[in-house]
Amino acid sequence: MLDTQLIAFLIKKYLHNELTTEESLLFREWLNADAENVKLLSELETADKVFTDLSIYNRIAERQKEGTKLTALTEKIKERTRQDEKQPKPIRARSKRALNWIKYAAAILILFSSIYVYIKQTSDVPYPSENHSTHFSDIAPGTNRAILKLPNGKTIDLDNDADGIIADNTTISYADGRKIEIANSSAPQNAIVTLEVPLRGQYHVTLSDGTKVWVNAGSKLHYPLHFEGNQRAVELEGEAYFEVSTDEIPFIVKSKNQTLKVLGTKFNISAYDERKEIITTLVEGKVALGSENIQEAPLVLTPGQQSIFNGKRFSKTKVDVEQFIAWKNGQFYFDGVSPEEAFSQLAKWYDIDIVYEGTTPKFEFFGIIDRGKNLSGVLDILKKSGLNFKLEAQGTHRKLIIQDEQTY
């Protein structure tokens, strides 16, 4: 069964006569899979608000469990279509209510920019200009960028083209085998080194025990060249995704005043200084969370659960983990996030300041954006979601000013 997001994308392109040969084959596969799909397409072709219906389709599809039949989704869309057909057709313009619905649904268009996940393309689709400042028209996205700080104070600018580094007890090398010169360091093997990833950067490190860590923009990972004793401990400032190598020796991650303990698992921690909360999302395995500030039994997470620690107490909830580890896979994944959260992610990846002028926008963002896009491409997508903004620059200092939402 085709991915429901891909189906929505194909329907949109079909209705605009934009399907490629490969996409036509995929679309035909879905169409022939169920007679209900043919009926759905027929209704969408004649519906007055196809744009709205597609946004509903995507929103519902995000909530479906893997393996659920598409007929459940089609019934929801048909119901919406039938309701639309009962409404009087506007003679001149859509009602304000309808326009507002479309405005909020417009954020779903972000999803369509991510089809690269399913159909590999050789180049980005150009987006029309929206009077962006020339200072920002070609701002490139973040890349592999990091600085390695040794115990003796020496710093090393790591190779941007390398696929991460590997710590091997007494040496550090790139993933391709090239050694990194650290001979001047006379510190013991368990001395702490720091991988510092600046804004507009990310980097991957394999620790001496085989644990893999992806470090996000604006973050620091403090770790020893070699783990010794009865625990494996690292310290994180910012955000990182961990795939911990299984071992009888506990693996500990300290983030501000939170302590996470595991034996072997996959999880993401977001503990940026500007946020009051520490967000821990578990992908595989099991983790126990605690803090010196509270006298409670450790909070245990199982796969698909997330904890939020505000410094005083832990809370736990079930989440879609893909949204919280998408950055590692080269995506911004917005599933009902606030503008503040969405722009916070953009700020770190493009190294820009975010300023809100007037009322903070209230609508939520849904969809996926390729982190490989230039800033102008991302802003053009956001512009279509009903956002007013302006860009300012003073030398190398860049600022995105978010204004009020568009009105209709």
CATH number of the domain enclosing 318: 2.60.120.1440
Are the CB atoms for 256 and 277 separated by under 8 Å? no
Model confidence pLDDT, tens digit, residues 274-328: 888 999 999 999 999 999 878 788 899 999 999 999 888 899 999 989 889 999 9
Does residue 225 lie in a domain region? yes
Are the CB atoms for 319 and 308 separated by under 8 Å? no
- Are residues 160 and 273 located together in one domain of the fold? yes
- Are residues 84 and 160 located together in one domain of the fold? no
Does residue 245 lie in a domain region? yes
Dihedrals phi, psi of 282, to nearest 5 degrees: -100, 130
Count of domains observed in the chain: 2
Model confidence pLDDT, tens digit, residues 121-139: 323 333 333 333 434 445 7
Quote the tokens at residue 131.
């009077």
pTM across the whole model: 0.69
Average pLDDT over residues 3-7: 62
The domain boundary residue, chosen from 296, 323, 350: 323
The domain boundary residue, chosen from 69, 89, 109: 89
Does residue 9 lie in a domain region? yes
In whole angstroms, what is the distance from residue 44 CA to residue 64 CA? 21
Does residue 206 lie in a domain region? yes
In whole angstroms, what is the distance from residue 399 CA to residue 380 CA? 16
Secondary structure of 266-324 as H, E, C letters: EEEEEECCCCCCEEEEEEECCEEEECCCCCCCCEEECCCEEEEECCCCEEEEECCHHHH
Least confident of 106-110, 253-257, 390-394: 106-110
Residues in the chain: 408
Give the chain's mean pLDDT: 75
Q: Decide if pLDDT at 248 tops 50.
A: yes
- Are residues 309 and 161 located together in one domain of the fold? yes
- Are residues 192 and 287 located together in one domain of the fold? yes
The pLDDT of residue 44: 67
In whole angstroms, what is the distance from residue 25 CA to residue 399 CA? 44
- Are residues 272 and 169 located together in one domain of the fold? yes
Q: How confident is the model at residue 364 (pLDDT cuts 50, 70, 90)?
A: confident
* CA dihedral sign, ordered 328, 331, 335, 338: positive
With 0-12 / 13-18 / 19 or more C-beta atoms within 10 angstroms meaning exposed / middle / buried, residue 346 is: buried
Does residue 264 lie in a domain region? yes
- Are residues 81 and 158 located together in one domain of the fold? no
User: Between 35-46 and 50-62, two packed helices, what is the crossing angle to 10 degrees?
Assistant: 140
- Are residues 54 and 192 located together in one domain of the fold? no
Least confident of 108-112, 159-163, 177-181: 108-112
Does residue 100 lie in a domain region? no
Does residue 126 lie in a domain region? no
Number of other CB atoms surrounding residue 316 within 10 Å: 15
- Are residues 162 and 307 located together in one domain of the fold? yes
- Are residues 157 and 302 located together in one domain of the fold? yes
Range of the domain at 26: 4-89
Are the CB atoms for 24 and 37 separated by under 8 Å? no
- Nearest partner of 196 among 152, 150, 230, judged by Cα: 150
- Are residues 172 and 274 located together in one domain of the fold? yes
Q: Which residue has the tokens 């072997």?
A: 264
In whole angstroms, what is the distance from residue 362 CA to residue 18 CA? 33
The domain boundary residue, chosen from 290, 323, 356: 323
